Amino acid sequence: MTVHYTLTFMLLCVEAFVFLALIVPLPFKARRALFQFFGTNPIVGKILYGVKISIIFVSVLLVDAVQRLFRVMADRQAAKDQLGVRDTAHHDLLIKLAFAQRNCYLCGFTLFCSLILSRTYSLVNELIEAQTRLEQIQGSASAKGGAPSTDIATMKKQMEQQQKEYQRLADELAQAKGQTPSTKKD
């Protein structure tokens, strides 16, 4: 394997390791501290910038691998048509085809893993933000003390008043249509 495909494989291994590190279950505070460190550290930012540049190079390698794969497949078909060669007769064409397919899959999986890694990072970051907001809301509700129970009582009163008003309007509508009003007794 050439140097650039070896580096691509190493990038794929690093991406897989980082993905596993992202999804490992950690306590909320530890995960928040870890993500805050990754979000604010300038060295991590430079590493991510380098990874983004390498992803661009991997996408160029993918295009090259796909072109090479099509070229090897065309050469194999031409040898098959012109010489009447069986598939197993020319091992060099089969080896070239296997290498072209390997390079194509390697670059494709690396790009796919980078997309999955990016989305997973953003989802975990959103989860941390939601848990932080929930923690703040629960803290403010506990500081108010009995506020939730008074809110529930107020909402029940409003609901009863709206139910009475609805029943009154339904009775008026029934009288206007000439029907007997159906008063609901609780």
pTM: predicted TM-score of the whole model, two decimal places: 0.66
pLDDT tens for each residue of 38-94: 888 999 889 989 999 999 999 999 999 999 999 999 988 888 887 776 665 678 888
pLDDT in the model for residue 143: 74
**52, exposed or middle or buried, with CB in 10 Å at 0-12, 13-18, 19+?**
exposed
Cα Rg for the chain, rounded, in angstroms? 33
Two structure tokens written together for 16: 């897989």
Position 31: which residue type?
A: R
Reported as a pLDDT band with limits 50, 70 and 90, residue 22 is: confident
C-beta of residue 117 within 8 angstroms of C-beta of residue 15: yes
More confident of the two residues 178 and 110: 110
Distance between CA atoms of 44 and 38, rounded to whole angstroms? 6
DSSP codes joined into one string, 65-130: HHHHHHHHHHHHHHHHHHH---TTT-HHHHHHHHHHHHHHHHHHHHHHHHHHHHHHHHHHHHHHHH
Distance between CA atoms of 13 and 132, rounded to whole angstroms? 32
Collapsing DSSP states into helix, strand and coil, what is residue 181? coil
Average pLDDT of the chain, as a whole number: 87
pLDDT tens for each residue of 114-152: 999 999 999 999 999 999 999 888 888 777 765 556 778
C-beta of residue 94 within 8 angstroms of C-beta of residue 88: yes
Position 102: which residue type?
A: R
Residue 112 reports pLDDT greater than 90:
yes
